[in-house]
Amino acid sequence: MITFMFNGERQQLDVAADMPLLWAIRDHLKVNGTKFGCGKGLCGACTVHLDGAPTRSCVLPVAAVAGRAVTTIEGAEHDPVMTALRRAWIEYGVPQCGYCQSGQLMSAAALLNGNSRPSDEDIDSAMSGNICRCGTYSRIRKAIHRAAATLASPGDTAGIEQYAGAGFGNFVELKAVAVAPAGAREEGQS
Ligand code: FES
Ligand code: FES
C-alpha cells in the first residue's frame, strides 16, 4: 500500500511499487488531465508537481511518491499562479491541439513559483523539456511573461475571474474562448 498526498488529499493505492506514477494517476485515480506522450521522460506531457517540483510522471515509480505530495493540473486549478498562467494562455491563444498544454502549464507554474520575473533565457531553460508538436513555444514564452507581470501587479486582475472555473483538462474549451472575437471575449462569450 502506497500512501501520499494527491491534489491536497491523502490517498492510498494498492498497486505495484514499480508502476509509473502516470499510470497510477490516470488508470487508478481516474484523473486524466496529465497526458501520456513518449513514456520515456523526454516530452514533458506527463509533468506533475512532486513537492512542488516539476516531475515526469511516466518514468517515476509510484513507490517514490510515498509520503510526498503530488499535484496535477486539476489540483492546481485555484492556485493564483496557475490562474494567471491560464489567463495569459488564453490571451495569447497558446493552445493549438492542446495535448501538451497540461505539462507546459505545470512546468510554467513551477518556474514562476521559484522565479517571479524570469528572463527569456530562464523560460527557455525551464521549458526546454516540454515538447510541443504544434510549435507554440514563442506564445508560451510571451504568456509566461504576461502571467509574471499580472502577478507582479495585484491590481491588474481584470478577466482572471472569467477563467477561474475553466477546465484544465479540456483545452478545446479554452481554445474556443481564445479564438472568440475580442468583443465576445470581453462579454464572456465563447
Ligand atoms: S510522457 Fe512523460 S515525458 Fe513524455
Ligand atoms: S498544442 Fe499541440 S502539441 Fe502542443
Q: Is the CB of 38 under 6 A from ligand 1?
A: yes
Top-level CATH class of 80-186? Answer: mainly alpha
The Å distance, Cα 32 to ligand 1 centre, comes to 14
Torsion of CA 154, 100, 102, 163, to 10 degrees: 50
Radius of gyration, alpha carbons of the chain = 16
Summarize pLDDT for 126-157 with one digit per residue, the tens: 999 999 999 999 999 999 999 999 999 866 55
Distance CA 23, CA 1 (A): 16
pLDDT value at 68 more than 80: yes
In the sheet with 9-13, reading across from the earlier edge strand, the strands are 9-13, 2-6, 69-71, 47-50, 53-56
pLDDT value at 18 more than 70: yes
- Annotate 87-112 with b (16+ C-beta within 10 A) or e (fewer): bbbbbbebbbebbbbbbbbbbbbbbb
The arrangement of secondary structure in 2-71, i.e. its CATH architecture, is: Roll (3.10)
The Å distance, Cα 188 to ligand 1 centre, comes to 35
Torsion of CA 160, 165, 168, 172, to 10 degrees: -90
* β 69-71/2-6 pair status: parallel
Q: What is the pLDDT of residue 140?
A: 98
Q: What is the pLDDT of residue 177?
A: 38
| Closest ligand by atom to 102 CA | 2
Q: What is the pLDDT of residue 116?
A: 96
| Mean pLDDT on 74-91 | 96
Q: What is the pLDDT of residue 153?
A: 86
pLDDT value at 63 more than 90: yes
How far, rounded to the nearest angstrom, does the alpha carbon of residue 130 sit from its chain's CA centroid? 11
User: How far is CA 7 from each of CA 79, 139, 149, rounded to the nearest angstrom?
Assistant: 11, 28, 27
The Å distance, Cα 138 to ligand 2 centre, comes to 13
pTM for the complete prediction?
Answer: 0.83
pLDDT value at 190 more than 90: no
Least confident of 70-74, 101-105, 106-110, 162-166: 162-166
Looking at per-residue confidence, does 163 or 33 come out higher?
33
Mutate to test the pocket of ligand 2, among 102, 130, 132 (most ligand atoms within 8 A of CB): 132
| Mean pLDDT on 148-170 | 59
Average pLDDT of the chain is 86
**Longest CA–CA separation in the chain, Å:** 53
Give me the residue label for grid cell 521559484. Answer: 114
Length of the chain: 190
The Å distance, Cα 153 to ligand 1 centre, comes to 34
Q: What is the pLDDT of residue 167?
A: 41
Q: Where are the domains of the chain?
A: 2-71, 80-186
Least confident of 88-97, 99-108, 121-130, 159-168: 159-168
